[in-house]
Amino acid sequence: MNVFKFGGASVKNAEAVKNVGKVIQLFKDDLTVVISAMDKTTNALEKVVDSYMNGDGKCFEYLQEVKDFHYQIMDELFGDLPEGKAGKKHPVFEEIHNTFVEIEWEIEDVPTREYDYVYDQIVSVGEIISTKIVSAYLNHIGVNNIWVDVRNIIQTDNTHRDARVDWELTEKLAQEKLALFCHPEPVEGRNIIITQGFIGSSSENFTTTLGREGSDFTAGILAFCLNAKSVIIWKDVPGMLNADPKLFSDTQKLNNISYREAIELAYYGASVIHPKTIKPLQNKNIPLYVKSFVNPNEPGTLINENTSEDSLIPSYIFKKNLVLISISVRDYSFIMEDHLSHIFGLFSQFGVRIHLMQNSAISFSVCVDNNQQKLTRLIESLNSKYLVKFNDNVELLTIRHYDNETIAKTTQNKEILLIQKSRNSVRMVMK
Ligand code: ASP
Ligand code: MG
């Protein structure tokens, strides 16, 4: 069995959904196919949640946009019903309609539950709808498949929006339930399961989500639990590139990198795969391919245990619009462990994510995301005990497998505020 993952861009419109059908038909083995919400639906549903929670009266209007978007795609996919059924809508229309009605019920009354809980109940619908449409379309064109609600398999705690997986229970359910769906002698010689990324279920049976862009992780979880032969993440790029093509003109594809290298790149912010995806695959030595859904026969990038090609090509990872904060002790005493533990406590309390840190005798510098709200509160708290200075709108560049030339090329006309070097990576905060 292989696990496929199709992200939002690969199901962004009717044409894209049709292409998913073509890609799946290229393969002959059993497949578990994990699919995200269509295009920017997750963002659009976040808007519905925000509006509902702050009571600005626009949530139904925002939901209507999400509905129109999906109905348009369905019209294009199911408009050509075979003769005899002409004029009759495909049953998926009613199914999707009912799913939307459930959200409408949810947002009719004033909110009584906390934001994160409500978020998961509403935003998860993007994945439910997307998979129902794709599954119905594939059956419609004769690619027989079974739609599975992944919430019956992926069990989590109740940390809404960032749920932790209960691996033991999930593994047991995956093996029991997915095997149940799979016919021992399927009609076309193989089984196809269509299911959702990103979502799970808490022990109280409420929907949870695994964090934004979490569908890759779902593919990793299911592959681990089902001992898959391989995972293929289908993207709109030819594979993992050594830099973001939106920022660099001459990118190169990485043909084969190790799990370790992939985790490092994802950690530094390469956005091709979700950082949590690799560990379950590495644990069972399951190869991961990142391939283009536009050119599915091209080899893409292979991620496995082979480290021999890791350092062949330098990779560049840019993070923009960060803030560099420098914290020093007012009385010129040294920054000691007790200060650091107090400082870290505040960062964790206010949920400010640290991208890079460095300390000297009397000061401690950290580079963080520019989240105004959180930062203002953090800096207020720090101010009572420390002298705090900051530099906003800085960028952090990480180069894996750097040399002098790559550094010189990327720092031209830039002021370097801080630099950190290890054997494999150089990280620079610049303005
Ligand atoms: N639809 C979710 C998101 O956009 C999960 C995913 O696409 O991986 O974050
Ligand atoms: Mg997505």
CA–CA dist 190, 177 (Å, integer): 17
Distance 340 CA to ligand 1 centre (A): 35
Beta-carbon contacts of 397 under 8 Å, excluding residues fewer than 6 positions away, are: 316, 317, 318, 319, 410, 411, 427, 428, 430
What integer pLDDT is reported at residue 135 of this predicted model? 98
Task: Give backbone dihedrals phi and psi of 68, rounded to 5 degrees, phi first.
Answer: -55, -45
Say which ligand is closest to the CA of 215.
Answer: 1
315-430 classified as CATH 3.30.2130.10: yes
Distance 124 CA to ligand 1 centre (A): 9
* Mutation test residue for ligand 1: of 45, 210, 213, the one with most atoms within 8 Å of CB: 213
What integer pLDDT is reported at residue 332 of this predicted model? 78
What integer pLDDT is reported at residue 314 of this predicted model? 96
Percent of the chain with pLDDT over 70: 96
Distance 37 CA to ligand 1 centre (A): 6
| The three-state (H, E, C) secondary structure of 173-194, written as one string | HHHHHHHHHCCCCCCCCCCEEE
Model confidence over 333-378: pLDDT tens digits? 888 888 899 999 999 999 898 999 998 888 899 999 999 999 999 9
The ranges of the chain with pLDDT < 50 are 84, 86
Give the nearest ligand 1 atom to 43 CA.
4
Q: Near ion ligand 2, which residues have CB within 5 Å? A: 7-8, 36
Model confidence over 25-57: pLDDT tens digits? 999 989 999 999 999 999 999 999 999 999 999
Model confidence over 257-281: pLDDT tens digits? 999 999 999 888 877 788 899 999 9
What integer pLDDT is reported at residue 85 of this predicted model? 52
Distance 327 CA to ligand 1 centre (A): 36
CATH class given for the domain over 2-235: alpha beta
* Mutation test residue for ligand 1: of 198, 233, 276, the one with most atoms within 8 Å of CB: 198
What integer pLDDT is reported at residue 273 of this predicted model? 87
Nearest to 224 by CA among 272, 184, 168, 262: 168
Give the nearest ligand 1 atom to 198 CA.
5
| Residue nearest to ligand 1 atom 2, measured at CA | 213
What integer pLDDT is reported at residue 188 of this predicted model? 65
Say which ligand is closest to the CA of 34.
Answer: 1
Residues 116, 118, 123: CA angle, nearest 5 degrees: 95
User: Is the fold of 2-235 the same as that of 315-430?
Assistant: no
What integer pLDDT is reported at residue 295 of this predicted model? 97
Distance 109 CA to ligand 1 centre (A): 27
Pocket around ligand 1 at a 6 A CB cut-off: 7-8, 36-37, 42, 126, 197-198, 212-215
CA–CA dist 311, 239 (Å, integer): 17
Domain ranges, ordered by start, for the chain: 2-235, 315-430
| Residue nearest to ligand 1 atom 5, measured at CA | 213
